[in-house]
Structure 1
Amino acid sequence: MAGRRGARSGRGWDAIPPRSGGPDSTERGGIGEKSSSATDLTARAGRGGRTRRSENPDQPPKSESETAREICLRQLAVRPRTRAELAKALARKEISAEVIAEVLDRYDEVGIIDDAAFSRAWVASRHYVRGLARRALANELRQRGVDAEVATEALEALDEDEEAATARALVDRKLRAASGTPDQVFRRLVGMLARKGYTAGVAVRAVKDALAARDAEAAEFAEQIDADAMADDSDTSH
């Protein structure tokens, strides 16, 4: 299963991206490969714009476009970025709006930045490694300035069955070390899934099924849980 392979890899968006493209970068839409080759590609991104005084008096002053490209490359060396993230980084350095548009348009053209590929890779990594559900992933993509239509298309890779299976795997993992009464354990685990973006229906069913398989006491408690009713109550409260 793709989820388990991703989880065993231990690599997510918290890890430093590889310096050269490999199988993972190809599967994620080539983002890792594009970032590692950004230095070569940026030479084709054009020159011009205002000049800035160089810190080294022996070197000629840099154009504003060159400064902008250097800022982008430093950002991309850490991890892939969306167009909006790079635009914010450039604005903080007081790069003009005209130069920001010029540089980022060129980067879009040559493939150094690609919000659709970024979104697909983000969804895959954050779901399979961190166990986040579509609702949480949509919020993260929105915070990074990804267009709603682009984000929706990336999130379509996760279906309801896959989400439910991931939720159950998360619960089973936590349940092994859980202590307290079945009611206490139930509430903690449902809360954990809610923080990861799972709907009430998915969360309650995953925990109920896991408790039913744990022991006699937990199974007796699970039998009393009406997952559908709890999910409906949660939906109306919001």
Structure 2
Amino acid sequence: MDEVDEIHDALNAAVRALSSIRKDFMNEVERNKMKVPSETYMEWINRAVEIEKQVKFSVDEDKILVDQPPETVVKRRGPDINKFKTLRKPLEQILDLLEKDNVKGIRIHGTVGIGKTTIMLNLNNHEQVAKKFDIVIWITVSKEGSKKNLSREHLQQAIVQRTEIKMEGASNVDKVARRIFKELKGKKYLLLLDDVKEDLNLNEIGIPESNNGCKIVLTTRLR
């Protein structure tokens, strides 16, 4: 970000200098109204104006691209929970719990096919959630049929992609964890962990503990 700002400052300084020269020339021509401006002069003025416009557009566009944060929620396709009466109440209960300051984690427990992931999908897509959190991060923690969670590296990569963190070639898991920690520290996040198969150390992944309203919701078959 600092390098981009330096480039923007240099471009703006150059354009200001060009603009000053252009205005000086135009003032000189204005003072000598009896002389007809040459075609070379008119071409130079037109080109200077065009450069000023292009640089302004480029700077504005780059700032939009650089400063654009990731979407608060990435909507996920799934069954409409309104079609399942037995699942609507658990979703409403979870939404109520998310409003309580003393609740930091919620576990959705049940056997295969009971509707845990359907509840999570509808939670992820809910308007109330989008308004409450800075970012909602969905992570599928394990593969179907596996008895273990995915690797630390895999889970980190899912977070890096979702938060659009620029890693600049960093591959060491500890460095990645520190980068994730730095990105999420101070943000009000909702972490959705689907299908947790075993104990999961969030600190090792880089998830910071927070008192600013962050929440974690997970689904699991484990008690």
When the two structures are superposed, what TM-score results if normalisation uses the length of structure 1?
Answer: 0.25
When you count strand as a share of all residues, which structure comes out higher? 2
Structure of greater Rg: 2
| Bigger RCO (CA 8 Å, 6+ sep) | 2
When you count helix as a share of all residues, which structure comes out higher? 1
